[in-house]
Structure 1
């Protein structure tokens, strides 16, 4: 009898991402309205006949607000993800990219708590094996937040994800990962 080929943790409702989007929309709207109120009546040309750059300020402010909304909207659409198969652990800690971490590089997967919030912490093994994705600066955003709260718990951690972004208990989530992890990978619940 064969089991599933892969698992993926169920994601919770994106209340945090939607709250960030609502905050951004309100702030950007207020900024655009303020600039429009201050510079909306500017004439297109100055008295000398030259173009008045202040007349373009409301349009440029609205454009910048629209461009600034892109990462916030992507945060709602591309939510964090954790999955596994017999080859690799896949983690998307934020909205930018999904990391494929082969089990041969993973040393430990642990559920930890710091500052009243729960995290999934992944430690990678040092060695010559460089297959899969290498976490970059943008992939370590959640890890940097975790380091602000507990520097001791993040030593050696390469990637972290918030457990509140997923449904289910940490025990069940870690058990699902343990079903696919090889024996040399340590699975720990430190909550």
Structure 2
């Protein structure tokens, strides 16, 4: 008896986007290990061979998810910082809120993004990751130029900021801190970060 998926259509209006949307839902609900191109084809209603037009294998799908995740993170940071006006502390707060909300809303995706980035040969993912991290680096450089942050290697300051953001997201994702406390926690983190990183008097 033929595979039921053989009777499904090969073509789809926007198959690549539909597969990525379905894959992200599966990633969130079941984790990366349980994602398969055949199951995703069944979910979006196409033949089991159709996804290979866009993703020749499962790793290509995971890489595309990670790349798209970094692009979305960059857009979220850009929008947040641009909407904060010219006030540097407000820009820092907006960037921190945007990152932690993304990390909380997309925990499984963020984990995939970071693990995929360090996989050998993942040059497209590394390039995509440069945008959001470069945006945060630019924010630190802006603070240094304005005298709000101490001079020196912006990477060292950035590591402290990144560790703070990851820590907040981990606590909330681990149900150790209630999600509704996010804004207040970020306010405290911004105040402590700016106080600790300001130039010596």
**Smaller-chain TM-score bracket:** under 0.3
TM-score normalised by the chain length of structure 1: 0.25
Higher relative contact order, structure no. (Cα contacts within 8 Å, ≥ 6 residues apart):
1
Larger strand share, 1 or 2: 1
Which structure's CA Rg is the greater one? 1
Larger helix share, 1 or 2: 2
